[in-house]
């Protein structure tokens, strides 16, 4: 196992050894600007996130909600490029020594070239990639190059995934498994939380990989709740919303740093 993916697996193992879930943050590259996005990513890692996912902004982010779509739109209008995503990974990784992954839809990678993308991501110090819309049965080329460059390939599972399908997905993945669910509106959280917990249990039955949950978590109490059954708590929209709601860039950076600190307490059961 090369250094890039090892940093990720060691980080998740260290959180487990501490008897807690890992905190995984998400922010898109180029938002609100390339430099501003780098500041924000460093701030969430310094504030308490164990791992960060850097989003590659896409014009048709079908799996993202309105908050992340808004941020992607700002980044794209600002002219963000894949080179800027790689620079974000490089600077955040070098500054913090923590694992940085890229979360991207397949189309930009395919157009850029799989060999080129994986080589550049590894060279930038990236730990791997989350590919929410790449079907496992079409992933052989990606996995071959990711493995060659020591990158994790994180696939996404959903409550709708059947057990046989879960086993296929987890067998092909590395690093961790991203279990996607939704917290839902107030009043439905209890049932959706149960659904997410059930998905984690079903996924764990197929793999030894950590199972991390993206659930619409926005505060320390919710983070603590998800940390009770998952290996990692993934938070995206709440960080992006803090940046969008801030009066200026400096205030946004401090807001995401503070949120990371609150959520870090949550995953440690100190909420």
Among 39, 50, 53, 225, the active-site one is: 53
Nearest to 30, CA basis, from 47, 62, 51, 54: 54
Query: Sign (positive/negative) of CA torsion 60, 83, 238, 271?
Result: positive
E-strand spans in the chain? 22-28, 51-55, 100-103, 128-130, 152-154, 156-157, 177-180, 211-214, 232-235
Q: Please give the span between the terminal C-alpha atoms of the chain, in angstroms, as a whole number.
A: 35
d(CA 69, CA 59): 8
d(CA 5, CA 62): 27
Active site residue 123: no
Among 39, 50, 64, 225, the active-site one is: 64
Residue 175: φ, ψ to 5°: 85, -75
d(CA 192, CA 178): 16
Name the residues annotated as catalytic.
Answer: 53, 64
């Amino acid at each position: 196992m090369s250094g890039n993916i090892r940093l990720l697996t060691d980080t998740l193992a260290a959180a487990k050894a501490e008897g807690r879930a890992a905190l995984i943050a998400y922010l898109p590259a180029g938002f609100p600007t390339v430099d501003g996005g780098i500041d924000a990513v460093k701030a969430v890692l310094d504030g308490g996130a164990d791992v960060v996912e850097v989003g590659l902004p896409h014009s048709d982010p079908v799996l993202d909600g309105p908050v992340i779509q808004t941020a992607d739109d700002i980044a794209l209008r600002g002219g963000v490029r894949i080179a800027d995503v790689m620079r974000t990974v490089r600077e955040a990784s070098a500054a913090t020594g923590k694992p940085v992954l890229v979360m991207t839809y397949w189309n930009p990678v395919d157009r850029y070239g799989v060999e080129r993308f994986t080589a550049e991501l590894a060279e930038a110090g990236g730990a791997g990639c989350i590919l929410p819309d790449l079907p496992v049965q079409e992933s052989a080329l990606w996995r071959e190059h990711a493995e060659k460059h020591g990158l994790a390939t994180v696939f996404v599972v959903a409550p709708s995934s059947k057990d046989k399908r879960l086993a296929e997905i987890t067998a092909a993945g590395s690093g961790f498994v991203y279990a996607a669910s939704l917290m839902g509106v107030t009043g439905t959280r209890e049932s959706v939380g149960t659904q997410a917990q059930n998905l984690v249990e079903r996924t764990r039955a197929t793999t030894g990989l950590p199972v991390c949950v993206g659930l619409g978590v926005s505060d320390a109490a919710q983070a603590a709740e998800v940390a009770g059954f998952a290996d990692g708590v993934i938070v995206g929209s709440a960080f992006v919303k803090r940046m969008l709601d801030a009066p200026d860039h400096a205030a946004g950076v401090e807001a995401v740093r503070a949120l990371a600190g609150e959520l870090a307490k949550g995953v440690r059961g100190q909420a």
